[in-house]
Structure formats: C-alpha cells, structure tokens
Amino acid sequence: MKKILLAVCISASAIAFAQDYSVPAASPRQKVEQQFSMSKITVDYGRPGVKGRKIFGELVPYGQVWRAGANSSTKITFGQSVNFGGKTVQAGTYGLFIVPTEKEWKVILNKDFQQWGAYTYDPKQDVVDVTVPVNTLADKQEWFEITLNPTDENSGNLVIKWDMAQAEIPLKPAKPDAVTKIAEKLKEIKKIESDAAKSKG
C-alpha cells in the first residue's frame, strides 16, 4: 500500500512539474500588447532565429507569401478601427503575412488568422495590403521581432525586423476626429468623477 501511495505521489509531483515546464521551443512564441489611441493592439507570433542561415532570398524566398514568423500564422488584433499604412482596417483579429522582395515588402492582413504557416493562405481572404520600403539594419537581428512603437498618443509604427532587414508600417486611428471628441468627453467625465470624490472628502 505504501508503495502505491508513493508511486501516486511521485506521479502527481511529476505532473505538477510538467505543467510549469515545457521543452524549449526552437521558435518561441511571443505576445506583444501596446496601448494604442483609445484601445490597444496585440500581436501574437513565433520568433525564429537566423542560426547562421541566409534568410531573405533563400529561407524566406522573394516574391512568395510568408507567415511573418514561425509555426502558426502571426495574429494581429486591433481594438479599434485603424489606418494601416494608409488603408482603413476595421477592429478585429487578422492574420499578418508578408511578400518580401529585396527593396520592399508587401504586408498583408488576411481574414484567416488560425492557419498553420501560409500553407492554406488564400488571397481572396485579404483585407488590405500595403507596400513599404525595407531598410538595412546596422546590427544583425538574430531573432525575428515585431514591435509597436508609439510616435504620439494616437499613432505609432508596427516595426518588423529580422537578420539585416527592417520595415515599418505607420498606424493611426481610422477616424481621428471621432477619437478627439471621445477623448475630450472622457476627460470631462474623469474631471466630474474627480470633483465628486473631492467634495465627498
């Protein structure tokens, strides 16, 4: 009986241990979340490494659609409608894909954000695409990276870089006038709440 109890305890400990740990991923998953205007933007993507390989033009062929990361496709979620590189995109979640060339990248938002890689990519599901220039980095970016860099309280850049290449897509609210009006109303409400709290004190 003691042996059975001991075996059960060891099994339970092993399961608890396994829940806290996993096999190291070759391309770790990362989720980036950034406050944007009145809401937020979230990007969920896999981060492959260069690992001594030639990336663009070989591992990632020029002129072919790429998943913008590793494993399951990269997902981007907008909490409000945005101006994505000059084109309006409604709030929601999209698959992010890239068609790279040596000097510029076509960055695509696609309705299908649950596919593995780009193997079932369907251009008929594209919502928008924008073409942006590619800049050469001064230092190699070993791990593929997507960041969201604010440029002011209502705009920013989606920055994509890997190996020696970097591209940026400017982001702004799709309806800036509406955002301004709502922000003003929110400030008024906060002031009313603050004044009410002071009067109670």
Q: pLDDT tens for the chain, 201 residues: list them.
A: 655 554 545 555 555 555 566 656 678 899 999 999 889 999 999 999 999 999 999 999 999 999 999 998 999 999 999 999 999 999 999 999 999 999 999 999 999 998 887 788 999 999 999 999 999 999 999 999 999 999 998 899 999 999 999 999 999 998 865 666 676 666 667 667 777 777 776
Domain range for 99:
24-181
Tell me, yes or no, whether 200 lies in a domain.
no
Tell me, yes or no, whether 5 lies in a domain.
no
β-sheet bridge partners, residue 152:
155
Cβ count near 170 (within 10 Å): 15
Tell me, yes or no, whether 53 lies in a domain.
yes
C-alpha distance across the termini of the chain, in Å: 66
β-sheet bridge partners, residue 97:
108
Number of domains in the chain: 1
Which residue has 């590189």 as its token pair?
85
- The dihedral built from the CA positions of residue 171, 173, 177 and 179, taken in this order, carries a sign that is negative
